[in-house]
Each structure stands twice: as C-alpha cells, then as structure tokens.
Chains A and B, each alone.
Chain A
Amino acid sequence: MRRITVIALNTFRENLRDKILYNLLFFALLLMGGSVLLADLTIMEHRRIVTDMGLATMNLVGVIIAAFVGIGLVGKEIERRTVYTILARPITRTQFIIGKYLGLVLTLLVNVTVMLAVFIVTLWMYRTPFHAALFQAVGLIFIELLLVTAIALFFSTFSTTTLSAIMTLGFYVIGHLTTDLKGLGENSQNAAVQSVVTWLYYLCPNLDVLNVKGQASANGIVDMSYVAVASMYGLLYAALLLTAACAVFRHRDF
C-alpha cells in the first residue's frame, strides 16, 4: 500500500509540474466570462444558464484532463524509459498501474474541488441558490472522470498514445450514445440486430446514467438510491478496466 501511495504522490507531483492546474484559470475565465456574457443575452433564465455553463464546463475540462493525461500515464514512462528504473525496484506492475491511476485521481479531485469552489462563487455572484442536486451532479461528474481515466489507462497499457487517445474519445462518445443505441435497437424488427445492440449496450460503458446535469439545473433532487447505484456502476466498471489494465500490463514486453 505504501508503494502505491508513493507512486500516486509522484504522479500527482508530476502532473503539477506539467502545469495541469493552469486549466483552472481557463475554467474560471470561461465560466465567469461566459456566464456574464450569455446571462445578459437571455430572458429570465440567467440562473439556469449560469448553472448549465458551470456544470458543462466542469465536465468538459475534467474529461479532457482525464483522457489526455490518462493516456500518457504509462506511455510517457515507457517512452522516457523511466519505467525500467521504477520496475527494477520492489514494485509490482499491478502496484505501478494502481499507483499511477490513483495519482491522476488525486489530481482530478483537486481540480474538481477548485472548479466547484469557483462555480459556487459564480452562483453566489448571480444570487443563484444552489441545491443538493448540484452536488449530486458534480459527484457523478467525478465518477464519470474516474471511469474515463480508467478507460484511458486501459488503452495506454497496450497501445500507442495517439491510438489510445482516439479509442478513449471513441469510448467516451459511445458511452453517451448507448442509451440511444438501445432505443434504436428496440425499434428494429430484426432479432439479430436487437441482440447485438443489447450486447453492445451492456458491454460498453454507459456514461449517460452518470449525467444528472439536467436535474441539477432544474433544482430537481435526484433520488439518493439512484446516485448510489449510478456511482456503484461507475466504480465497478472502472475497477473492471483497472483489473484488465493490470492483467495486460503484467504480460507486456518493453
């Protein structure tokens, strides 16, 4: 456990050195500037616009970090050949992968926390009351980021950085489309199409179930049991991908 912590903290420090937190400045400018600009253009619903802008930006910035930093976690170590010095120590490959993952999760946690703080300040500036639904939405956004990081890390254990990026973004898009895909499959008359679509639906990650941004902007509290099951789903899927990533990485030759 101590070894995993050391790798995680090193990954976190490395992310900080890579100036990843500069994105927070970008986020703050985009959120505050965008909200001020857009809110003045609308009738009545400026509160809704500020809430939607904040949640969408937070989600987008987080996904970009999770995907693009996630694919470099292992690839960069191999390219720089630093992986040899790490694995020459009494650290197993599984500990290395889990440590790397937790390091990025820590970076994302800091990011999301600061973004949430900026978001709350913006809401306060617009005198927009914030409800528990908002925190539920942010919580599920964080679960989504954990899942996207696991997808990126999984692909990076056996593929190049560019291919991993393409596949991660592909999975992200598919993840938001599986519900629609299932709907289309159910309308199909062909039994084979129906079964293939159903298989794909359960095989691919469903990121749409982690999206409650709509309820948050309408101040509709989501049932806590829903949030709990959705979080469990995200965590289970992420754990599955991590297990697969560890299994693949254990047999990889450099």
Chain B
Amino acid sequence: MTMSTGIGVLRERLRVGGLIALLGVGAVGALTTLERQRPPEVRAAELSYLPKGEYIRVAALGYHQMAADLIWLEAVQHLGELKQTGAGYRWAYHAVDVVTDVDPAFAFAYQAAGTILGVWAGLPQESIAISTKGMRVYPDVWQLPLVVGYDYFYELHDVRAAARYFRMAAVLPGAPEYLGKLAARMTVEAGDPDAALEFLQRLSMQAQDERIRAGLLKRMKEVVVERDLRLLEEGVRRYRARYGALPKTLEDLAAGGIVNRIPPEPLGGSYRLNQADGTVSSTSLSERMMVHRHPGM
C-alpha cells in the first residue's frame, strides 16, 4: 500500500466515522429532549403501580393498550355477570387492577369497575381501591369520588369519610348541581335505603351502558326489598305491641290497621312472615344483605 492510498483510506474512514459520530450525537440529543418532553404523570404512574402489571407491560412490548384491552375483555365477562360470586368479582377486581397497571390511562375501567364492585358486588374495599387509584390519574373526574363516597356511606357506614368524598365530587368540574344537596342529605342518613335509592336512581340515569344500567336497576329493586322488609318488621313489632301477639300472616298487618297494604315484591317473589321470631323475608332473596343492617338491628 502506498503512502497516498493509505492516506486516502484513512481519510475515508475518518469521514464515515465522523458522519456516524455526528448522527449518533444528534440521535442522543433528540432522545434526551424526548425524555424531558414525556409527560411526568405518565412516568410517575408507571412507577407507582409496581409490580403486577409491570411484568405484563414488559411482555407486551409496545402493545400496552392492546394487552390492557384483552385483560379488560376478560374482566368484563366476569364483572358484567349480574349473578357473580364473590370470588369471581375478586378475580375481576384483580384483573382490572392489572389492566390499570398496564394502561393507567384506561379511564372507563376505573369508573365501571368501581361502580360494579361497590354497588352490586358488595366489595366496597375493592371498589374504593380501584376508584381512588383512578382518582390519582384522573383527579378531575367527579364520578370516581362519588362512588367512593357511596361505598363509605352505604356499605361501610362511615359517614365522615363519605362526606369528605361527596364534597370532593361536588366541587369537581362537570359535577351535577344536585350532588351538593344529595351529599348533604346522604351524610346525615347513613345506611338509609331511601337515600341510597335516590343515589342509585341518579346514577342509573347517567349510566350510558345498558348492562351497567340493568345492574343498577336490579340493585335498586334489592334495596326496595330491604326497605319493605324493614317496614314490615317494624309493622310486626307494632302489631305485637297493640294486640299482644304476633300476626299469623302479613295480611293481618293490613287488616289490623298497622300498614295500608302489603307492598308488591319488586323482584317477582313474595314476602313471608316467620312466625317463630317475627322476622320477615323475601322468597327472591335467600339472605338479607349484611350491609343494610345497622349495628343495633
């Protein structure tokens, strides 16, 4: 190799190397700029939800939303089932928890899961967990603190906590006007079926999804049954006080002037009197809902 060809090769290599170095510096500069531009809340959300969804995020490569959608589809099959078991709902809760880990921006998952778990699955703690997780990502969505408030008020009988969340919901943008009044009313009547009925009615009017509305309506009927059972048991007590003995049938309450009439059972069954202890039950519901019982009852 002569001196001049050697210099030529060296010059060419320097040129190529220089170009590669220049492009590399440009790429690293662009990447550094991108890091600064990436919304911090997205990064914070990714860090704060360790570790379950983390594995799926990694396995899903860039297809986080797709992975979240597929898990959501699976979860919905269990959440949407109105006659779900407690374990099924807990599994669905876990799946939704993972879904929102994989894709923290999945707004509807928080709302739907929070409502379903709290209102008709009877899992207030899980409902609160998923809704408050949603509140961290979407602090401006009033429906989320509303559901948490409902859980505390009706399911956990924690009036103070409920009031805090209702007030939080009422001041958020887009919150309906009635919310403030409703919040004030509900917080002084913890565990009252009438107040819960009003709440559920409002919620079902705003539900856009057929299945969620159907679930809310079913729950409303169950609350009506509970209200009627309380009314009838109170009637039995008054009957006993007035006549000195338990009535033989519920119709005796109407005949004895204690109640105007025996209300129809909204779920299609009928009310029965247990003559042994004077309690009243419904043929449609195998057991009374624990959540509706006051400590003194």
Contacts and interface: CB of A to CB of B under 8 A. Distances in A.
A59 B73 contact: no
A233 B27 contact: yes
A243 B16 contact: yes
B62 A208 contact: yes
A247 B16 contact: yes
Contacts of B211: 43
Contacts of B64: 213-214
Looking at chain A's contact residues, the main secondary structure is helix
Interface stretch (B30-38, B128-136, B163-171, B232-240): B30-38
A59 B62 contact: yes
A115 interface: no
A43 B109 CA distance: 10
Contact of B23 (A42, A207, A223, A239): A239
B62 A43 contact: no
Contacts of B19: 243
Contact of B61 (A173, A214, A233): A173
Interface stretch (A46-54, A128-136, A156-164): A46-54
A217 to B, nearest CB: 5
Interface in A169-193: 172-173, 176-177, 180, 183
Nearest to A230: B34
Interface size class of B (residues with CB under 8 A): 35 or more
B47 A183 contact: yes
A247 to B, nearest CB: 5
Tier of interface size on chain A? 35 or more
Nearest to B61: A176
B37 A176 contact: no
Contact of A44 (B30, B46, B209): B209
B76 A41 contact: yes
Contacts of A109: none
Given A45-B108, A243-B20, A214 B31 contact: no
B65 A209 contact: no
Ranked 6 nearest A-B pairs via Cβ: A233-B30, A240-B23, A56-B66, A176-B61, A236-B27, A211-B62
Given A213-B64, A233-B31, A236-B27, 5 more contacts: A42-B72, A172-B61, A213-B65, A223-B37, A233-B27
